[in-house]
């Protein structure tokens, strides 16, 4: 009898322990599904389990395939003749590197990794091990490297963009396995050259052009070819700017434009969905880079009826008077010099993320497209006025709230489109406003009201060019 009770106790304890292990595993999977970053400890534990033999052959491989490697440190050494940048990782990954000109920079593509280098996410100055991390990209440098930035570039793919002080050649770019207690490293070694030497090297590596074209075709979310049916609810496209390797404007306090506007876009999406009157598509719903052309393509493939691109402005040395919301529409000639400079800066997003734009096709316009474009611009201007009128009841507006310029992301000829600058991250008061949950809720309500007015009493039909 005593032996039976002891056996029952042992079996119960084993079942409880097994249930706890299953719950812990399920909780970890749930956190990953919700997009939380994997911890270094979790990966280190999986690696230790693999070294020690573990409890089965498949478990280390499964953990490795699910959890991205962690980049835990960056090191920079060298001088103006030869410079080395390295990243320490928790395990080996696949890498590819190539150089671009205008401006000179080196692109390092990686398997998706979790950057835990420290400082503002997605940016870093070139520094030696003794220098602090996290300074704003472009404010310092060492040797041939002016600055670098990093982030998620596409699903399953991360990217490091290294800004150079001048032409340089990639002498070495490889994954170095860890040994003698040292972690694995991605190593990039650069040597100085002149413009002619750089061009010769580019010509000798013509295959890089094919690889870069492949990047442009693969980045960005793939959408259904069916889109919305013409008889369905209007499709509103919300386009949070920047993302991933492109942080956008960065406040003095460290807040990044890409994060501020994504937080707002999610609130706006939820409010529009809650009305039951629209289908809402976001060009990105996480911290990932989407090229400008892909943002427009997403809108057209989903049969978008309205496109709202969301950003936050920045002016170098701006005072408190440079504050508030500005609504932009597309025009071939900018309404003022500040708008022209802003459009030029926003249109550089693809170059910032390391895309080679030299082979981009020019737009072909025919008479039908031109007529559609004129009608679309009229709808865009009408919505911009409605939007500015509603938002002024909820938030501070810029002294010139309605402006226009040649923004690439607004160039869909058949979708009414606006770009909203929610405020200035160069203004401490605006940053306080932009990061307020109360402000986001109130301002998103005003945008929702403007969208309701835009569609009220209208039959939304696709222009002839897209039928």
Could you tell me if 192 and 242 lie in one domain?
A: no
Using only C-alpha atoms, the chain has a radius of gyration, in whole angstroms, of 25
Question: Quick one: tokens of 6?
Answer: 């002891």
Residues 420 and 307 in one domain: yes
Q: What is the pLDDT of residues 314-365, one digit of tens each?
A: 886 544 468 899 999 988 777 667 767 766 666 565 555 656 555 444 443 4
**pLDDT for res 431:** 94
Question: Are residues 125 and 191 in contact, defined by beta-carbon separation less than 8 angstroms?
Answer: no
Give pLDDT tens digits for 202-246: 777 654 444 444 444 333 333 333 334 456 899 999 999 999 888
Q: Which residues of 89-105 are buried (b: 16+ CB within 10 A; e: fewer)?
A: bbbbbebebbbbeeebb
Range of the domain at 174: 69-206
**Is residue 437 in some structural domain?**
yes
The beta-strand segments (E) located in 117-177 are 123-125, 145-154, 157-164, 168-176
Q: CATH no. for residue 161?
A: 2.60.40.3500
| Dist CA 325 CA 423 (whole Å) | 5
Please count the structural domains in the chain: 2
Q: In whole numbers, what is the pLDDT of the chain averaged over residues?
A: 73
The residue that leads in pLDDT, 61 or 321, is: 321
| 399 and 264 inside one domain | yes
Same domain, 172 and 250: no
* Distance from C-alpha of 208 to C-alpha of 223, rounded to nearest angstrom: 27
Q: Within a domain: residue 23?
A: no
Q: Is residue 430 classed as helix, strand or coil in its secondary structure?
A: helix
Q: Are residues 77 and 195 in the same domain?
A: yes
191, 206, 221 - which closes a domain: 206
pLDDT, residue 333, reads 75
Residue 46 domain-assigned (yes or no) = no
Q: What 3-state DSSP class applies to 268?
A: helix
CATH number, position 273: 3.40.630.40
Examine the domain organization and report whether 413 and 320 are in the same domain: yes
Q: Range with the lowest mean pLDDT among 25-29, 148-152, 278-282, 346-350?
A: 25-29
Residue 351's pLDDT is 59
Q: Provide the CB-side half-sphere exposure for 334 (13 A, CA).
A: 13
Residue after which a domain boundary falls, among 162, 190, 206: 206
Last residue of a domain, one of 206, 225, 247: 206
CA–CA gap between residue 78 and residue 58 (Å, rounded): 42
Q: Does residue 182 share a domain with residue 88?
A: yes
- Is residue 35 in a domain? no
Same-domain pairing of 106 and 145: yes
199: confidence class by pLDDT, cuts 50, 70, 90:
confident
- Looking at the domain assignment, is residue 188 inside a domain? yes
Structure confidence by residue, pLDDT tens digits, 66-111: 688 899 999 888 999 999 999 999 999 998 888 888 889 898 989 8
pTM to 2 decimal places: 0.59
Does residue 343 sit within a domain?
yes
The number of residues making up the chain comes to 467
Domain contains 225: no
Write out pLDDT tens, residues 386-409. Answer: 999 999 999 999 999 999 888 878
Q: Are residues 275 and 422 in the same domain?
A: yes
Is the CB of residue 110 less than 8 Å from the CB of residue 94?
yes
In a domain, 319, yes or no: yes
Strand 306-313 vs strand 417-424: parallel, antiparallel, or unpaired? Answer: parallel
Band of residue 424 on the pLDDT scale cut at 50, 70, 90: very high
Query: Do residues 335 and 395 share a domain?
Result: yes
Residues 284 and 426 in one domain: yes
Q: Please determine, for residue 263, whether its predicted confidence score (pLDDT) is greater than 90.
A: yes
- Say whether both 445 and 331 belong to one domain: yes
């Amino acid at each position: 009898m005593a032996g039976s009770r002891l056996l029952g106790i042992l079996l119960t304890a084993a079942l409880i322990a097994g249930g706890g292990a299953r719950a812990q595993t399920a909780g970890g999977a749930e956190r990953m599904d919700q997009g939380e970053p994997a911890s270094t400890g979790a990966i280190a534990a999986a690696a230790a389990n693999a070294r020690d033999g573990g409890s089965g052959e498949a478990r280390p491989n499964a953990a490795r395939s699910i959890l991205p490697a962690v980049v835990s440190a960056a090191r920079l050494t060298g001088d103006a003749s030869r410079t080395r940048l390295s990243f320490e990782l928790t395990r080996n990954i696949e890498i590819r590197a190539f150089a671009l000109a205008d401006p000179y920079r080196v692109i390092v593509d990686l398997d998706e990794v979790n950057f835990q280098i420290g400082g503002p996410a997605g940016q870093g100055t070139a520094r030696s091990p003794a220098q602090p991390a996290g300074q704003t990209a472009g404010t310092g440098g060492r040797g041939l490297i002016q600055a670098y930035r990093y982030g998620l570039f596409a699903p399953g793919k991360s990217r490091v963009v290294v800004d150079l002080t001048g032409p340089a050649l990639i002498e070495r770019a490889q994954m170095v396995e860890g040994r003698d207690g040292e972690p694995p490293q991605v190593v990039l070694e650069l040597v100085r050259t002149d413009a002619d030497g750089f061009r010769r090297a580019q010509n000798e590596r013509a295959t890089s052009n094919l690889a870069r074209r492949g990047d442009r075709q693969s980045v960005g979310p793939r959408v259904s070819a069916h889109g919305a049916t013409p008889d369905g609810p209007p499709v509103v496209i919300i386009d949070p700017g920047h993302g991933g390797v492109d942080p956008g404007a960065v406040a003095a306090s460290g807040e990044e434009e890409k994060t501020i506007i994504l937080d707002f876009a999610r609130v706006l999406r939820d409010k529009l969905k809650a009305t039951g009157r629209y289908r809402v598509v976001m060009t990105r719903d996480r911290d990932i880079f989407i090229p400008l052309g892909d943002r427009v393509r997403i809108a057209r493939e989903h049969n978008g009826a309205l496109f709202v691109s969301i950003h936050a402005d920045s002016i170098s040395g701006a005072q408190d008077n440079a504050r508030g919301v500005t609504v932009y529409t597309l025009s071939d000639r900018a309404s003022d010099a500040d708008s022209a400079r802003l459009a030029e800066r926003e249109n550089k997003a693809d170059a910032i993320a390391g895309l080679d734009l030299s082979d981009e096709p020019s737009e072909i316009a025919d008479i039908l497209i031109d007529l559609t474009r004129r009608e679309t611009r009229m709808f865009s201007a009408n919505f911009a006025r409605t939007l500015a009128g509603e938002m002024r009841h909820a938030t501070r507006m810029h002294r010139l709230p309605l402006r226009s310029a040649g923004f690439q992301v607004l160039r869909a000829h058949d979708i009414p489109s606006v770009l909203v600058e929610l405020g200035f991250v160069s203004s401490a008061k605006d940053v306080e406003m932009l990061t307020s949950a109360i402000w986001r809720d109130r301002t998103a309500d005003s945008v929702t009201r403007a969208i309701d007015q835009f569609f009220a009493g209208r039959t939304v039909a696709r222009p002839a060019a897209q039928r």
